[in-house]
Structure 1
Amino acid sequence: MREKILIVDDIQANTQLIAAILEQFNYETVEANSGMEALELLKDHNVDLVLLDIMMPEMDGIETCRRIKKDSQNIDLPIIFLSARNDTDIVVQGFKVGGHDYISKPFDNDILRIRIKTHIELKRSKMQLNKAHQELQQLNSTKNGFMRLMSQNLKQPVSEILKINHLLKELVDSKELAVYINKLNSSVKQLEKFSSTAVLLNDLKLNSNELDMAQVSLQRLVNEALLQQSAAISSHNLQFEMKPIASDLQVSGEKKLLVLALVKLFEAIISNYEKGTKTLIEVNQEHDRIKMILEVRGELDPESKEQLNFSRNLSLMLSKLILELHGFEISSYQSISGEGFIKIIF
């Protein structure tokens, strides 16, 4: 199917001449000899591009372009202005009202053909990208719905298994069976944590442009996160120590999410290091950025398969996503002597 081009010029001889040229290049053409006629033709014809003369009586090309673009269906319709006037102000006006290109009269036929071909291909590519984007959004929406449904459906059976495990633990005398029950209990809790964290990750990606930003104290963020993890820290016999901060350093972000990022960060350390591990937290200001270093002094749990790896540890993945949504940076590395380090740049 041939591309269709609307030619608009108040002189009929000009539209006929351009139409004859474009026919040679295998384009279908529609002609209008005024801005009003062009607007009417666009209601009945689905065109791929408009060639628009600027200097026309009653309604000039600038006003015609403005009215064409007023219709939401024509937002991406390419409009190339044609004019014998080489006036910068007129050209700038044309671009401001939605024009895509400008060709001076008299024009070279090959240049006209190449400009038309380029703009039609750009329009087609944009349409394909928009379609692909819509399809991806639909797939993402389906995936998010599935994740949420999966999490909700897991809650009840997980809760039931935990209750049964608790009853079994009370009834069973065998130490060997008790060990297996404890392992099952731990695995079910991991499954519960995985499903809820996965949903959190999806929700954050969906609502990444809706952060409620405010200045918050970094000391308070750390204190609140440590308080939320105090029971787990105590039960695992771990230590978290924050070195005194010279001044009350502030960071910009959504407090609730930043606390969650630190909670998940501490959770990763708690669940992957052996009892007795000590984590030192040091905060310094370097120029206009704040640097937080977490030095983890301890041995990794032999059964831990996740370690401090952002691509494998779900808690770290969530923490990283939250921090990066705020424009912050987080990384981890290990010293030769075996200490683990996590660095956050606010």
Structure 2
Amino acid sequence: MKKNRILIVDDVPDNIKVLQAILSAASYETHYALSGKDAIMLCVEHSFDLILLDIMMPEMDGYEVCKYLKSKDKTKDIPVIFLTAKIDEEAIIKGFETGAQDYVTKPFNTQELIARVNTHLDLKQKNEALKFMNLQLEERVAERTMELADSNKSLEEANHQLLTLEDSKNDFLSLMSTELREPLNGIVGFADMLEYSIKNKTHLRYVKFIKQACEKLIGVSDIALLLSALRFDRYEMKIQGIPAHDIVKESVDKLRPLISERKIKLKISIPKNFIIRGDERLLVICMEKILENAIGNAPSKSEILVGAELQGQNVKIFVQDSGIHFAEGEVNYTFRFFELKKEQDTQNFKRFTPGLVVVKLVMDLHKAKVEVENRSEGGVQVSFLLPQY
């Protein structure tokens, strides 16, 4: 596996040695420059995945280096983390304005440094994946356009498919630009800066909310990537036998903070000998999204039932909550996120979530059935049917 390449820029050799020791222990490939000009020359000749850049350097300081790198196509997408000797609010804000993604203070805290490096390398990989998907989508649109030119008989149908594909692509890219790219850099950087610079407990609680928003945005990114992969048949399934109880347990473990926050009582009634056929990763995501929808819409301190029953050679897994109903028309559109009627009045009813679109796509891949029902006694039941292994 190829190691991530990190460039350290600092005019103090001892600082470079410390950073190299920390990063090498974490299995990163490190390179260094003792001045801003040397750093720019290295970036022209080589490729790096992340840059740790000292602010205060002679001749050419970190701000100038960062501004130059962000102005060039080859280096503009490399994450830059500033190295600073103290928490200076004006200096840090100036760093963000020149294009830096984050900062760390000297002396370096090993865990903090590795955590920040990991975060920005992960964001960089996701952005690269999004760019790659965009290219694939554009190529697919081009292929469809050529097919239209060659097939007069199916011109009307092919045009409809092309428009649907284009709309889906635009929705996907719009989601990324509004929900991920713009806020993430600001949230990550400023939330950490606030956490280290304020003491007021109320304000610290606000910082917690900001971090939660950041986590939600990362979750949106993951859902969008999965949605795109599923919709365009780029996911390779690994079918195997999986205990239904294990699928539910793994999903519940991921949602413990939300369950605790909402004070939900979760009742699980699934025999451990129920083995289903499917892709484990997708089924865990599927169950997680169904549970997340139920927990988010169920009244605080209420009970949610997760159960399973045999239906012939299949296992039906269901989640029941006691929340409000879906609007009558919305039940029909729950799994068709891109076709939801914009004028639908659902103000007083449970709203659809993009997570349920993932559920439908996962079940389609498994050639399985998924249903949403408004229960007569109140609440909603979401269920899916999979073959026994």
- Structure 2 residue aligned with 1:330: 370
Indicate if the aligned counterparts of 2:223 and 2:358 stay in contact, CA closer than 8 A. Answer: yes
Indicate if the aligned counterparts of 1:148 and 1:199 stay in contact, CA closer than 8 A. Answer: no
- The yes-or-no answer on 1:243 pairing with 2:269 is yes
- The yes-or-no answer on 1:293 pairing with 2:318 is yes
Q: 1:160 to 1:272 in 2, by over 3 A?
A: farther
Letter in 2 for 1:249: F
Indicate if the aligned counterparts of 1:221 and 1:258 stay in contact, CA closer than 8 A. Answer: yes
Coordinate RMSD, CA, aligned: 3.9
Letter in 2 for 1:171: K
Letter in 1 for 2:372: S
Identity score, percent: 13
Q: 1:130 to 1:321 in 2, by over 3 A?
A: closer
Measure the CA separation in 1 of the matches of 2:350 and 2:208.
Answer: 25
- The yes-or-no answer on 1:226 pairing with 2:255 is no
Measure the CA separation in 2 of the matches of 1:294 and 1:264.
Answer: 11
1:1-346 correspondence runs (5 A): 124-126=152-154, 144=172, 147-148=175-176, 151-163=180-192, 166=195, 170-172=198-200, 190-207=216-233, 210-245=236-271, 248-297=273-322, 308-309=350-351, 312-346=352-386
Indicate if the aligned counterparts of 1:211 and 1:254 stay in contact, CA closer than 8 A. Answer: yes
Pairwise CA distance, 1:326: 1.7
Q: Secondary structure at the match of 1:226?
A: helix
Pairwise CA distance, 1:210: 3.0
Q: 1:324 to 1:261 in 2, by over 3 A?
A: same
1:241-295: CA deviation from partner (whole Å, max 9, x where unpaired): 21142x6222222110110111111122222333322111221111122212222
1:187-213: CA deviation from partner (whole Å, max 9, x where unpaired): 565455434423332222123663222
Measure the CA separation in 2 of the matches of 1:342 and 1:209.
Answer: 24
Letter in 1 for 2:260: S
Letter in 2 for 1:276: K
* Structure 2: unaligned runs, 5 residues or longer: 1-146, 326-345
Indicate if the aligned counterparts of 1:217 and 1:251 stay in contact, CA closer than 8 A. Answer: yes
Larger Rg: 1 or 2? 1
Size of the alignment, in residue pairs?
217
- TM-score between the two structures when normalised by the length of structure 2: 0.45
Q: Secondary structure at the match of 1:242?
A: strand
- TM-score between the two structures when normalised by the length of structure 1: 0.50
Indicate if the aligned counterparts of 1:278 and 1:298 stay in contact, CA closer than 8 A. Answer: no
Indicate if the aligned counterparts of 1:154 and 1:192 stay in contact, CA closer than 8 A. Answer: no
1:18-47: CA deviation from partner (whole Å, max 9, x where unpaired): xxxxxxxxxxxxxxxxxxxxxxxxxxxxxx
Letter in 2 for 1:194: V
Indicate if the aligned counterparts of 1:197 and 1:315 stay in contact, CA closer than 8 A. Answer: yes
Q: Secondary structure at the match of 2:242?
A: strand
1:283-320: CA deviation from partner (whole Å, max 9, x where unpaired): 111112221222224689xxx979654xx212223223
Indicate if the aligned counterparts of 1:201 and 1:318 stay in contact, CA closer than 8 A. Answer: yes
Indicate if the aligned counterparts of 1:239 and 1:279 stay in contact, CA closer than 8 A. Answer: yes
Q: Secondary structure at the match of 1:275?
A: coil
Indicate if the aligned counterparts of 2:320 and 2:379 stay in contact, CA closer than 8 A. Answer: yes
Q: 1:156 to 1:184 in 2, by over 3 A?
A: closer
